[in-house]
Structure 1
Amino acid sequence: MSIEIERKFLVKSDNFKKQSFQKKQIKQGYLNTNKNRNVRVRITNNSAYITVKGKSNASGTSRFEWEKKIDVKDAEKLLLLCEPSIIDKTRYLVKRGKHIFEIDEFFGDNQGLIIAEIELDAEDEKFDKPNWLGKEVTGNVKYYNSSISKHPFKNWS
């Protein structure tokens, strides 16, 4: 169990792809989403996880997170029980200074949406911002994966 501290940003160009040192395919769904917690099932390449995330703090930067590795076959079965709209994305990892940005390029109903996240040790920690980083959306529930699964990007005006 831990407290996750992260900030989220929209991405304004695909220059991050040239800087990426790793990419992986992710398929994920939500067994439960509500304002106090969500339970996620994720398959990444050949690994699978179940994750419980708590409600974010007032600034949207910190929240409780618990994660456990599970069998891929079990995860595939759990995805069938998830709420509608499974998320399909490619995650790119980009090292910048002592930090690693995780940039998610979404597909399917969320095609065209690209979000970068950075995990920090403290809410006010300084970090180097790459030129492809756009508007900050930390704390904006609309950009949480659990919200995107219910209200896909293709339906935004």
Structure 2
Amino acid sequence: MRFEVERKFLVADDGWKAGVVRRHRLTDGLIGQFDTGKVRVRLDEDRAWLTIKGARVGLGRPEFEYEIPRADAEAMMRLVCDTCFIEKTRHCVPHAGLVWEIDVYGGTLAGMILAEVELEHEAQAFERPAWLGLEVTGDPRFRQSALLRRFEEAGRRVTLEEVLAAPL
């Protein structure tokens, strides 16, 4: 079992773009969500997999990932998942010994850009890149499910300003 420790941030500017070493498109479909976690199916250009995320403990949570046949993932997206999918391009940017993942959302969440970094443990020190903005780790407004729900309620694209203005 893997225990994911992740910190999430807004991006202050486009300075991260100069450091991109690879990028790939991802599509996520939510299979199920429960009080303490979720199950999703994800596709990229080459692979497909299921991810089960458990309850958060501090900044971390258990995570299980299983590669599955692409045809199965496509069928799950079509037959099992909600109609709103998460579409994003993930840009990998090395900085001070860590790899930052900058997610530029498309589709229903177009315009949203978030940066994440995975750590070995919660107390791990790290250098913040100059392009990093406000930390939103643990902020329920920035969970993908909350962003999708806000989009569905509004019936239109929701801006970063609207998300930040929403109550916690």
TM-score by length of 1: 0.92
2-structure distance, mates of 1:31, 1:151 = 19
Tell me what 1:40 maps to: 40
1:33-52 residue CA offsets vs partner (Å, 9 max, x unmatched): 12212001000111011000
Tell me what 1:70 maps to: 68
Is the 1:84–1:150 contact (alpha carbons within 8 Å) kept by the matching residues of 2? no
> How many residue pairs were aligned?
155
Could you tell me which runs of 5 or more consecutive residues in structure 1 were left unpaired when the two chains were aligned. none
Superposition deviation, residue 146 in structure 1: 3.0
Query: Which letter does structure 2 place at the counterpart of 1:125?
Result: Q
Superposition deviation, residue 78 in structure 1: 0.6
RCO higher in 1 or 2 (8 Å CA, sep ≥ 6)? 1
Which 10-residue stretch deviates more, 62-71 or 31-40?
31-40
Tell me what 2:53 maps to: 53
1:55-75 residue CA offsets vs partner (Å, 9 max, x unmatched): 212x4x111100000111111
Tell me what 1:89 maps to: 88
Tell me what 1:141 maps to: 140
**Aligned CA-pair RMSD:** 1.5
2-structure distance, mates of 1:13, 1:96 = 16
Is residue 155 from structure 1 mapped to residue 158 from structure 2 by the alignment?
yes
2-structure distance, mates of 1:146, 1:55 = 15
Superposition deviation, residue 12 in structure 1: 1.7
Q: Identical aligned pairs, as a percentage?
A: 34
Distance change in 2, residues 1:28/1:11 (3 Å): same
TM-score by length of 2: 0.86
Superposition deviation, residue 112 in structure 1: 1.1
Bigger helix fraction: 2
1:95-153 residue CA offsets vs partner (Å, 9 max, x unmatched): 11221001100012211110011000111111111111100000112212233333338
Is the 1:32–1:40 contact (alpha carbons within 8 Å) kept by the matching residues of 2? yes
Query: Which letter does structure 1 place at the counterpart of 2:12?
Result: K
Moved over 3 A (4+): none
Tell me what 1:25 maps to: 25
1-structure distance, mates of 2:24, 2:63 = 21
Tell me what 1:113 maps to: 112
Superposition deviation, residue 2 in structure 1: 1.4
Is the 1:92–1:104 contact (alpha carbons within 8 Å) kept by the matching residues of 2? yes
